[in-house]
A and B are shown apart, each in its own frame.
Chain A
């Protein structure tokens, strides 16, 4: 498992990387009321704004952590955005991306480094 400074987690299974937000991020955002996900098949570049989240407090973006193609999205969190608060690091993943440059994974933190990052 890898973590970004944008509070995403990345779970790599043979080049298909599942992406969600961390429990810390979900806590900070507060109750999530709206999620907009990219369409399956979209080619994205690292740092593209591809997801919009609205909490009871504000709107935020989630950036593509890697170059690649969106191969699956989690429609359940669009139907029930509150799931993101309930299980952010499990069932409430956001999308799966087929990484075109798996080497980009090396840029990200491991769990210990992320824990230190959020203090």
Chain B
């Protein structure tokens, strides 16, 4: 794994007995000795600490940077208040998704957090699309996620200001001697924080959090089952350049001001298709699916409308066992006429068609502190 990048917490992972795997060009912990199931359940019961330093942090500076960024995303950036963060996606001319990201308004600049595997694509896209805006990739900072019902208590022990934050607030605060950029958000469906910390201070902050008996390290394995239970999309699996935000069920992220009739209607790549789908619906839709029985229905499982017919009903895009719901769960795209809750479709697993029921997302209730 010598050509892989290592995060500032690499030594800590090895010390904690992590199993390291290559992920998007990085050497990352997939699990610790506790294992994926226990790490998942611990996050839901107490607090999990995740190294997500592989994700891209990018600062945008310049007059009118927020207005300019609206040329690349279908969301309301100009109206995003200082100290707040919002989910967004870069769209392409076909209305597909180049990446999904978080945008934070930090007063004199915007902070973006993008997917590790898309950093290079995103940076080129930002530079080409935003002349006059300074696009600065941040490589000197680690990113630590602290997630779960005990996350607040654990962070408040380091700085009481953490208590005052609401879901999707962003703030700068001192933690374990480091100036950190903190957001109250995450990728597990739990309350929690994502903390950007200078690389040199990352291990110290992580150790300070892990000193709390409620906080256990959690790897990428459980991160995936947690986000899937929470109904959250994984870029490259559930969304990509061929899926539109409306098909993906992400219309909630497109504020009225950018929709047809809004003050800043359209003006982003793929607007024609996306605005049309917002009004008239898309032909297919991302849904939750609960396979019958215990066998997980994993990504790329083909779906059929009937047990023995040839009519396609789309494909599974993510699938795993859900530790908190105690059963397998999947997400996938199905034609709109088969997307109603309770509809049965059939996934072909090892040559056998197995029934799966369309189910509401999330599978596990989100518990954000709004």
Could you list which residues of chain A lie within 8 angstroms of chain B, going by C-beta atoms?
Answer: 30-31, 33-34, 36, 52, 54, 56-57, 59, 78, 81-82, 85
Task: Give bound CA distance, A70 to B88, whole Å.
Answer: 55
Question: Is there an interface contact between B321 and A56, defined as CB atoms closer than 8 Å?
Answer: yes
Taking CB atoms, residues of chain A closer than 8 Å to B38 are 31
Given A34-B294, A81-B294, A82-B37: A56 and B225 within 8 A (CB)? Answer: yes
Q: How far is the CB of B236 from chain A (nearest CB, A)?
A: 17
Interface size on B, residues (CB 8 A): 15
Q: How far is the CA of A23 from the CA of B295 in the complex (A)?
A: 22
Q: Is B296 an interface residue (CB 8 A)?
A: yes
Chain B residues with Cβ under 8 A from A31's Cβ? 35-38
Return chain B residues, CB-CB under 8 Å to A34. 294-296, 321, 328
Q: Which residues of B contact A82 (CB under 8 A)?
A: 37
Cβ-based interface call for B221 (8 A):
yes
Contact, CB under 8 Å: B298 / A59? yes
A30 contacts B321, C-beta separation under 8 Å: no
* 10 residue pairs A–B, Cβ–Cβ below 8 Å: A31-B36, A31-B37, A33-B296, A34-B295, A34-B321, A34-B328, A54-B296, A56-B36, A81-B294, A82-B37
Given contacts A30-B36, A31-B37, A34-B321, A56 and B221 within 8 Å (CB-CB): yes
Distance in Å: Cβ of B39 to nearest Cβ of chain A: 10
Which chain B residues numbered 270 to 318 have a C-beta less than 8 Å away from chain A? 294-296, 298
Residues of B within 8 A of A (CB): 31, 35-38, 221, 225, 294-296, 298, 320-321, 328, 350
Expressed in whole angstroms, the minimum distance between the Cβ of B123 and any Cβ of chain A is 32
| Chain A, Cβ-Cβ closest to B296 | A54
Q: How far is the CA of A33 from the CA of B225 in the complex (A)?
A: 13
The answer on a CB contact under 8 Å between B294 and A33 is yes
Q: Besides the contacts A31-B35, A59-B350, A82-B37, what 4 more A-B pairs have beta carbons closer than 8 Å?
A: A33-B296, A34-B328, A56-B36, A56-B225
A53 to chain B, nearest CB (A): 10
**CA A52 to CA B296, docked complex, whole Å:** 12
Which of A33, A52, A78 is close to B350, meaning CB atoms less than 8 Å apart? A52
Which residues of B lie under 8 Å from residue A57 when comparing CB positions?
36, 221
Cβ contacts under 8 Å, B296 to chain A: 33-34, 54, 59
A78: chain B residues at CB < 8 Å are 294
In the bound complex, residues from chain A placing their C-beta under 8 Å from that of B298 are 59
Q: Which residues of A contact B320 (CB under 8 A)?
A: 56
Q: Are B321 and A54 in contact (CB under 8 A)?
A: yes
Per CB-CB distance, the 5 closest pairs between chain A and chain B, nearest first, are A33-B321, A56-B36, A31-B37, A34-B294, A34-B295
Chain B residue contacts of A52, Cβ below 8 A: 295, 350
Closest to B224 in A: A56
Given contacts A31-B37, A56-B225, A36 and B295 within 8 Å (CB-CB): yes
**Chain A: minimal CB distance from B30 (Å):** 8
- Closest chain A residue to B295, Cβ basis: A34
CB distance from A14 to the nearest CB of B (A): 34
Min CB gap B97→A, angstroms: 26
